Structure 1
Amino acid sequence: MRMIRASFLRRSTVVAAGIRVMMAVGIFSTKFPPARASIDTTMKSNLSETLHHPKLEGLRMTRQRSVVYEILMDHRDHPTAGEVFERAKRKMPSISLATVYNCLEALVQHGAVKQVNFERESSRYCPNLTEHGHFHDEESGLIIDVPLKQGVTLSDLLELPEGAQIENLEITLRGKLSNH
């Protein structure tokens, strides 16, 4: 529970880098329970880093979008929307599943993350925007990014039609990891 005692409080709007931020200006004191204070401090520092990512330019970053994006960047384990929701609830208890889906859709449409679909499974979300494939361990369910080797092109591996321009690359490998 956050308690604010204000002797003078005024709201102002600041626009910086296309992001509108509401600020409360005044003299006030706050009282946070210890656990909540540390979460807020961590969230604010990560929020600052999140807002300055080049892929996010032009996207209105709400607190909810920032939390969802931060979760994807911190774990990089290709979570489903349900898994993102569970993690987001720990940071923002009031967030809804619908809001998480809307945030993920906005991030995908803006090109900040990729939506990855595996056969007959829930969509997963990948923050790695470089060209890469995915290895799906069918025993554990683990999904691992598989980078393309330096200097290798698709035409080295595939007989592409003459003049073909690849706009999207999705490589999914399925199997079993021997060390898991």
Structure 2
Amino acid sequence: MPPSTLGAAAAVLALLLWWLRRRRPVVVLSSTDASAVAALNRSQLVAAALGPDPVADPAAGAMAPAAPETAVSPLPASLGQRQRTVLLAGLRQQLAGDGPSRLEAMRMARRWGDPAVLPLLHRGLRDPDLAVVREAALGLERFRGRCPGLADAQPTTPVTAPLPRNVSRTL
């Protein structure tokens, strides 16, 4: 067998292996029509923007809107340890109940404003009732951006951090 024929056979074999191993383009949703899913998403977005339908959901329509931020009167902050423990236990028990009791627990925790209710407010964010989630978010708003340990401390000298080694990379 001449060397040229052997070289041609090796070239054809290499070309065949390359052709079989190359990546094929992946066609996403080639057999599925996604227009029904897109229509469902659009209808859910419109329904969420309009709010709950009182005809379809009588419980959502009968619920009064939450009181504005200025109308909430805070509970006294100077509660004793026993009173705090009793109030926290009552809030935990209410949070384990039905929808209106969970909403009342969130309102009470929001009015109290003590850092001890933060775990309850975080749990309220995962509640299925949107009114409870709203109250929990409003209750957490009080604690946003504030570090309780640094609120009282005033630094006497300004704290400066050393410059990085390569300042040009930080710009």
What is the TM-score normalised by the length of structure 1? 0.20
Q: Which has the higher strand share?
A: 1
With CA pairs under 8 Å and 6+ residues apart, which has the higher RCO, 1 or 2? 1
Whichever of the two has the greater Rg, that structure is 2
